[in-house]
Amino acid sequence: MTQIHIIDTGYFYADGGAMFGVVPKKTWKKRYDAGDANDCLLVMRSLLVQTGDGRVILIDAGVGTKQLDKLRYYKFFKMLDLRQELLKRGVRAEAVTDVVLTHLHLDHCGSVTLKDETTGELSLAFPHARHWVGRAQWANFLSPHPLEKASYFMENMLPVKEAGLLQPVDTDCEIDSSGVCLRLYHGHTPGQIVPYIPIPGQTIVFPGDVIPLAANVTPGWISAYDTSPLISYHEKIRLLEEAVNKKQLLLFCHDAFTTRSYVKRAGRFYSLYGNF
């Protein structure tokens, strides 16, 4: 039977205006707390999925520690060592069979490569795992728009490619016959992967930055980080309509206060229930 562990790998602060785009603060502040400096507390949430057929799948990997001195603006804190966290749950890093990266922005993939502090040498944190990345996301990573470039660090992913462990995703697919499906959504960035994980009686969805916070469940509440917000709007509705109809459980990757929720339609909008 599939087992799932939620791992909160660390926290940081992002500007509320960036998280909610054109939505005024007096509106979004009612649904997501912020400090006097407009700073919203965000988590970096990963999933460890152990399937009945023996696959050990890690979904997203947080920011890691390689670039923290360049990223002081975000005030990262309570950073966990992901490999140690897996070990606490009985999983060696070498035993991870698959790493699914929803996308390659720095807060989702930093921990997949390690840097020796003395020599600067890079190595793989999960040396035997295939690393699943949307092919369009990989192309975007190699040649990003100048406005998105600061979200990518080559050192996070080039060693994966050099080791022959990059697994590009061209279209919606399943990881072998594990039941875990990877679906592509666009808007936040091209070719983002949304994993769908079946467990008895229901399916867990990890929308990543398609819906990073529970408050982003309102279709028009789109992050200013999204590179194509008009596409994000429709992609979010596509995801939510299925979640409503199939009673899927959404797991939010950045919400420091709400981990998961079901969703129902409420007129033109959506609301949460069973959230905690």
Contact code string over 57-96 relative to Zn ion, x by CB under 5 A: ----------------------------------------
Nearer to Zn ion, 209 or 226 (CB): 209
Rounded to whole angstroms, what are the CA distances from 79 to 90, 237, 245? 20, 33, 37
Nearer to Zn ion, 43 or 57 (CB): 43
Q: Which residues pair with 123 in a beta bridge?
A: 114
Q: Are strands 192-199 and 122-124 parallel, antiparallel or unpaired?
A: unpaired
d(CA 181, CA 190): 18
Nearer to Zn ion, 72 or 268 (CB): 72
Q: Contact with Zn ion (CB under 5 A): which of 98, 107, 226, 255? A: 107
Strands (E), 81-191: 98-100, 113-115, 122-124, 130-134, 166-169, 173-174, 181-185
Of residues 208 through 227, those in contact with Zn ion by CB under 5 A are 209
Binding region for Zn ion (CB under 5 A) out of 77-85, 107-115, 130-138, 261-269: 107-115
Nearer to Zn ion, 55 or 252 (CB): 252
Q: How far is the CB of 201 from Zn ion (least distance, A)?
A: 29
The reply on whether position 235 binds Zn ion by CB under 5 A is no
Q: Which residues neighbour 203 within 8 Å (Cβ) at sequence distance 6 or greater?
A: 196, 197, 246, 248, 249
d(CA 39, CA 182): 32
Q: How far is the CB of 28 from Zn ion (least distance, A)?
A: 17
Q: Residues in the site for Zn ion, rule: CB under 5 A?
A: 107, 209
